[in-house]
Amino acid sequence: MEIKKKDIRALTKEQLRNFFEENGDKAFRGNQVYEWLWQKSAHSFEDMTNISLKTRQMLEDSFVINHIRVNQMQRSEDGTIKNAVRLHDDLIVESVLIPTATRTTACVSSQVGCSLDCKFCATARLKRMRNLNPDEIYDQVVAIDNESRLYHDRPLSNIVFMGMGEPLMNYNNVLKAIDKITSDEGLGMSPKRIVVSTSGVPKMIKKMADDGVKFKLAVSLHSAIDEVRTSIMPFNATFPLASLRDALEYWYAKTKNRITYEYVVWDGINDKRKDVDALVEFCKFAPSKVNLIEYNPIDDGIFQQANSKAIDMYVDILEKNNITVTVRRSRGKDIDAACGQLANKT
């Protein structure tokens, strides 16, 4: 019977050091291999040229490196790049590079599919298959960093967890990936340049606050009226707005970090004065910013972006209430790379 080899990147540095000691080598060898695995993103043991052949063979016999592979890359006319990423078990997730004049942002996935059922999101049509491992999240970032250097002559500057999946339902692995991304032994990026976007899982928002995380939080709100929110994001029935707000108050009290809300205004769904008033009321407890994002159609026949008069009303009333508001245009729509369009169509 063939013994299933272990994914070497599931080991901590300490465990790797122990492995070498137990096998009659120096613990220091563990540091070298660790550097190859993370900082240098080696795809195979063969690449580890300062490690002896014999040791490489020993690693080969015991472990695998489950590196992701960019299966297909699509480039939009606006410079956006979408990667279809193949995982070691042949499942596919997507990640996106979004270039602007001043920054390059990676939008990465945290799960294969999604267990939530937001009616306006293409990913919701794929059921959740599994969580991504920390190294699979890390690899997406490295792939986009490389593409950013290649096509835009600069390194990646920001990361948003707004791809497929609900990051707070894969919290431990997302946290481990961010640890690697921000560590000097990984990419050394500042956590302030990372945004984790959630549909709002109250218990996990409180846990994040307790863990003292340094990255930023965005909440996909879309409505501050329970009845409306439940109709478009059914899991709001389990985690109603009062519990979300309670968790966010806790988050703010602990972190003093401003909260960003993602919000799409749809025709006939949340485009009335009462919807804006409810949003203002909801935001009151902490400094907030509202990103009004453009709706990216997913051929559902129900949702339609509200007209500009409704958007202007939102901007006007939010500003009068001292709530920062931005109107975001979508990017990469021609290649189905925009928010909510990731569904492995290819």
Q: Which residues are catalytic?
A: 94, 339
Options 98, 162, 208, 335; binder of ligand SAH; rule CB under 6 A: 162
Asked if residue 222 belongs to a known ligand binding site, the reply is yes
**Does 158 interact with ligand SAH (rule: CB under 6 A)?**
no
Site for ligand SAH in 86-125 (CB under 6 A): 120-121
Nearest in space to 344 (alpha carbons), one of 111, 93, 143: 93
State yes or no: residue 264 binds ligand SAH (CB under 6 A): yes
Q: Is 197 annotated as a binding residue?
A: yes
- Nearer to ligand SAH by Cβ, of 30 and 165: the residue is 165
By CB under 6 A, residue 194 contacts ligand SAH: no
Q: Which residue of the chain is nearest ligand SAH when measured via CB?
A: 340
- Does the annotation flag 296 for ligand binding? yes
Of 145, 147, 262, 336, the one binding ligand SAH (CB under 6 A) is: 262
d(CA 164, CA 126) in angstroms, rounded, equals 10
Encode 256-289: b = buried (16+ Cβ within 10 Å), e = exposed: ebebbbbbbbbeebbbeeebbebbbebbeebebe
Residue in 199, 223, 236, 270 binding ligand SAH, rule: CB under 6 A: 199
Q: Is the dihedral of CA 199, 201, 221, 232 positive or negative?
A: positive
- Distance, in Å, from the CA atom of 134 to the CA atom of 108, rounded to the nearest integer, reads 12
Phi, psi of 170 (to 5 degrees): -135, 45
- Segment near ligand SAH (CB under 6 A); pick from 18-26, 177-185, 193-201, 268-276: 193-201
Q: What does residue 32 show for φ and ψ, rounded to 5 degrees?
A: -65, -45
Closer by beta carbon to ligand SAH, 133 or else 197: 197
**Does residue 166 touch ligand SAH according to CB under 6 A?**
yes
CB atoms within 10 A of CB 216: 19
C-alpha–C-alpha distance, residues 241 and 221, integer Å: 9
Question: Cβ of residue 262: shortest distance to ligand SAH, in angstroms?
Answer: 3
202 near ligand SAH, rule: CB under 6 A? no
Hey, CA dihedral for 227, 296, 311, 246, is it positive or negative? positive
Q: List alpha helices for the chain, DSSP H.
A: 13-22, 28-37, 53-62, 134-152, 171-182, 202-211, 226-232, 241-255, 273-283, 308-320
**Closer residue to ligand SAH, CB minimum distance, 121 or 337:** 121
121 is in an annotated binding site: yes
Is 22 annotated as contributing to ligand binding?
no
Binding mask 265-304 for ligand SAH (x = CB under 6 A): ----------------------------x-xx-x------
221 is in an annotated binding site: yes
Taking the complex as a whole, how short is the minimal distance between the CB of residue 199 and ligand SAH, in angstroms? Answer: 4
Amino acid at site 315: V
Question: Where are any strands of DSSP class E within 67-142?
Answer: 69-75, 81-86, 92-99, 104-107, 111-112, 130-131
Q: Which residues bind ligand SAH (CB under 6 A)?
A: 120-121, 162, 166, 197-199, 220, 262, 264, 293, 295-296, 298, 339-340
**Which segments are annotated as binding site?**
114, 118, 121, 165-166, 197, 220-222, 296
